[in-house]
Amino acid sequence: MGEADLIQALTDHGFSLNESRAYTALLQSGPSTGYEVGQKAQIPRSAVYGALRRLVAAGAARSIAGHPERFVAAPAETLLSLLRDRFAASLSRFEKAVQSLDTDPPVPDAFSVRGYDRVLEEAKALIEGATTQIVLSAWPRELSHLAEPLAEAARRKVPTYVFSHAAIPEGIAGRHFSYGHDEKDLEAFWKHRLVLVVDDQRTLIGATEGDDADNAVISETDAIAEITTSQIALDLTLLAQRVSCDTSEVMAAILGDRVGRLDELFARAPVAVFDQQVAPARKKRRAG
């Protein structure tokens, strides 16, 4: 984390770019004149005093009377406390305003989001709302981002099953199933993808390359959840076959009574046949 990160964090919380630059400059330099802040933060003289006045009004800076007037940054801890209180108050007002509308708009069966951060936010929200089961296929990088909500789900005693072709990081809650490959080695073959099914009903399927082009579809369609869960179960089955491990108990947990019904069907079925397509024979050319 550095100067650019602080400026970005401030702009994310509603400060203008000039205000963010001015606060960062004050934090680094101590009491400064407007001219000095403008020089350090590369803010035009015509704009620097306006930015400083707005910081003072917001409680992010303080004015020191004198000739010339100087400005000093409010301590970072003080500003952080102010922002928390204001956000909490704003969120409370929003909640009351929404409740006063007395409306409950319909929720779509499926919607999409774009951007790496938004994909992870939706994944966290799904995990935080889980009550009966979490089935997850992801890369180590994304698992690390989801570690906290997965740990909270474990504290709620929500069964969690995590699959990855790469080595799963330490501290990730749930039962792990992994080939143990190095993430960098796999990146030479595949792109980062995140597949998540919660409570056998809600599904997220998304690209997680780590940029703004990432996107994901979030669905509450039962059929999509069933197909997606079955795909992860297939990955687990293939892994089990390669390491000679019995996964019947895990399959029963993930797929529920579908496993028993499927076994019963196969027991009654005729011998399986794999039909090999034969290329049509070429016609013999007639003798001339």
DSSP, collapsed to helix, strand or coil, labels residue 278 as coil
Q: Is the pTM of this model over 0.75?
A: no
Q: In what order do the strands lie in the sheet with 70-73?
A: 32-33, 70-73, 61-64
At 288, the pLDDT band (50, 70, 90 cuts) reads very low
In this predicted structure, what is the pLDDT of residue 263?
A: 53
In eight-state DSSP terms, residue 209 is S
Query: Which helix H or strand E contains 197, and what residues bound it?
Result: strand 193-198
- 218: amino acid identity, one letter: I
CA distance 130 to 126: 6
Average pLDDT of 51-60?
92
Q: What pLDDT, on the 0 to 100 scale, is given for residue 107?
A: 61
Which tokens go with 145? 């981002």
pLDDT tens figures, 103-124: 666 666 788 999 999 999 999 9
Contacts of 225 (CB under 8 A, 6+ apart): 197, 200, 201, 202, 203, 219
Query: Distance of CA 215 to CAs 12, 123, 194, 241, Å?
Result: 21, 12, 10, 33
pLDDT at residue 48 in the model: 94
Quote the pLDDT of residue 248. 81
pLDDT number for residue 174: 93
pLDDT the model gives residue 106: 66
Per-residue pLDDT reduced to its tens digit, 129-144: 999 999 999 999 999 9
CA nearest neighbour of 52 among 12, 23, 30, 82: 23
For the chain, domains (ranges, CATH) are 3-77 (1.10.10.10), 110-268 (3.30.870.10)
pLDDT > 80? residue 84: yes
Instruction: Report, as an integer, the average pLDDT of 5-25.
Output: 91
**Looking up tokens 């889980």, which residue turns up?**
130
The average confidence (pLDDT) of the chain is 87
Binned at pLDDT 50, 70 and 90, residue 279 comes out as low
> What's the chain's length in residues?
288
